């Protein structure tokens, strides 16, 4: 908070000087003193005093000690209420910009891994049951889509946040001839708050940021859950580098996916921060209340937790090691091409509901024989489907029932065909590297 408090104070002092509310000499002294304090804080030579309550009064007291009475003029035409509201917006804006960059790096990592596995076949699941064949690249690009929405939400949040409350004073504005638009320009705010009561008491931007942070962490948690499942011997789809895992204190064979598990756990913490802020604000009358001393801890914690998690995942994702043979083997355990057989029958003239019933019966027959649909002879397949016209199924059915045939047939925008996966990756890379 110290850095943004000094930024806000420098802009406020410059405006006061330009409006001739304080002298140019006063401003130059204030500017020099604040820059020295900034240097002291960065070098860890600043002495914080608990008796002075907060960051703002500590800086102001040190400024007055350095430059004398000119330091006492800095607080002219502002209150700690609009000062704090401005500082929090500056801090959150800075955090959003950092998080947006980490989200960009994470998506690039997903694209890199997806490109390596654009044609690697894996089972797609619904209800955690094998459903249809898909490609690993397609699965990974689903997360790129999620995190792209997250970035859009953050950018949208930033727009609503980027409105200057300074000049609202305690709650009613100030009688001094200030120029709020000039301060907004100096601090790169898009506009100024249009109501002084709302300016000092609004924390919607903090709630909105924490809501977006919760959604991002939820997406990370979903991916973490998949990594945890995929790394288990029951799945055996992936391996993670050792630096993202730990062993057991008692079982020497264990390799635990610590980073995904920790991220899954941290999601609850960030979700809790959102609820804390909503609860904090729900009973507050206008305007500022001391309750708002409690707004910073959940806000700061959400930002720090999210930023750290994104950095770790951006490092980890490109190094996830998929096991293509295990993935392919898993697809064969759930009659994943059954829908392809139904679609084939529809193209031969059968109504979809009839085709659905025919294939369901074929699956039962295959399961009883311990065979996949593609392993049935042509006659057995025709019989299993109980077709009135057996000739509806020809030798070309086996091309349809292969895993490659299945994924390649989904060759449209948003489909799992390798050609479409590569197009999606190329499009994403262009957007991420403007």
Q: Dihedrals φ, ψ of 74, to 5°?
A: -60, -35
Residue closest to 309 by CA, chosen among 78, 161, 105, 64 = 105
Collapsing DSSP to helix, strand or coil, 257 comes out as coil
Tell me if residue 256 falls in helix, strand or coil. strand
Q: What is the number of H-type helices and E-type strands within the chain?
A: 18, 6
Residues in the chain: 434
CA distance 193 to 378: 74
Contact yes or no for 309/266 (Cβ under 8 A): yes
CA-to-CA separations, 126 to 131, 133, 427, in angstroms, rounded:
6, 12, 27
Look up tokens 């085709």; give the residue. 355
Strand 163-164 and strand 191-192: the pairing is parallel
Q: 239-254 b/e with 16+ CB inside 10 Å = b?
A: bbeeebbeeeeeeeee
Structure tokens, 197 = 């009561």
For residue 333, the SS3 value is: coil
Cα 28 to Cα 10, 12, 22: the distances in Å are 10, 13, 10
Residue numbers annotated as active site: 127, 248
CA–CA–CA angle 299, 302, 304 (5° rounding): 105
**Among the listed residues 282, 2, 15, the one whose alpha carbon sits nearest the alpha carbon of residue 164:** 15
CA atoms within 13 A on the CB side of 193: 25
Q: What is the largest CA-CA distance in the chain?
A: 100
């Amino acid at each position: 908070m110290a850095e943004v408090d000094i930024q806000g104070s420098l802009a406020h002092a410059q405006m006061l000087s330009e409006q001739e509310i304080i002298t140019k000499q006063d401003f130059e002294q204030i500017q020099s003193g604040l820059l020295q304090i900034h240097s002291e804080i960065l070098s860890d030579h600043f002495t914080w005093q608990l008796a002075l309550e907060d960051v703002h009064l500590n800086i102001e007291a040190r400024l007055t000690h350095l430059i004398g009475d000119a330091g006492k003029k800095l607080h002219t035409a502002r209150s700690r209420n609009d000062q704090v509201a401005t500082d929090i917006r500056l801090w959150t804006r800075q955090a959003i910009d950092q998080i947006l960059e980490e989200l960009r790096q994470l998506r690039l990592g997903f694209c890199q891994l997806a490109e390596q596995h654009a044609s690697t076949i894996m089972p797609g699941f619904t209800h955690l049951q094998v459903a249809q064949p898909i490609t690993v690249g397609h699965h990974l690009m689903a997360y790129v889509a999620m995190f792209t929405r997250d970035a859009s939400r953050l950018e949208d949040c930033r727009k609503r946040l980027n409105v200057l409350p300074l000049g609202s004073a305690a709650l009613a504005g100030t009688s001094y001839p200030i120029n709020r638009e000039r301060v907004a320009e100096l601090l790169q705010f898009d506009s100024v708050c249009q109501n002084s009561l709302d300016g000092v008491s609004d924390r919607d931007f903090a709630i909105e940021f924490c809501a977006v942070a919760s959604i991002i962490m939820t997406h990370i948690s979903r991916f973490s859950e998949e990594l945890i499942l995929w790394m288990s011997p029951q799945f055996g789809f992936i391996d993670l580098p050792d630096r993202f895992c730990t062993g057991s204190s008692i079982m020497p064979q264990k390799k635990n996916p610590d980073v995904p598990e920790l991220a899954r756990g941290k999601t609850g913490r960030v979700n809790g921060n959102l609820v804390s802020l909503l609860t904090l604000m729900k009973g507050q009358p206008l305007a500022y209340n001391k309750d708002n001393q409690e707004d910073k801890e959940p806000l700061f914690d959400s930002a720090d937790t999210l930023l750290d998690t994104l950095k770790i995942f951006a490092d980890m994702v490109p190094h996830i090691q998929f096991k293509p043979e295990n993935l392919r083997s898993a697809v064969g355990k759930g009659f994943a091409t059954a829908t392809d057989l139904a679609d084939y029958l529809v193209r031969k003239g059968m109504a979809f509901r009839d085709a659905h019933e025919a294939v369901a019966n074929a699956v039962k027959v295959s399961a009883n024989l311990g065979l996949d649909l593609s392993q049935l002879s042509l006659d057995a397949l025709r019989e299993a489907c109980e077709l009135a016209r057996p000739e509806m199924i020809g030798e070309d059915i086996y091309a349809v029932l292969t895993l490659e045939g299945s994924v390649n047939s989904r060759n449209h925008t948003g489909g799992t065909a390798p050609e479409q996966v590569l197009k999606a990756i190329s499009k994403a890379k262009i957007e991420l590297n403007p």
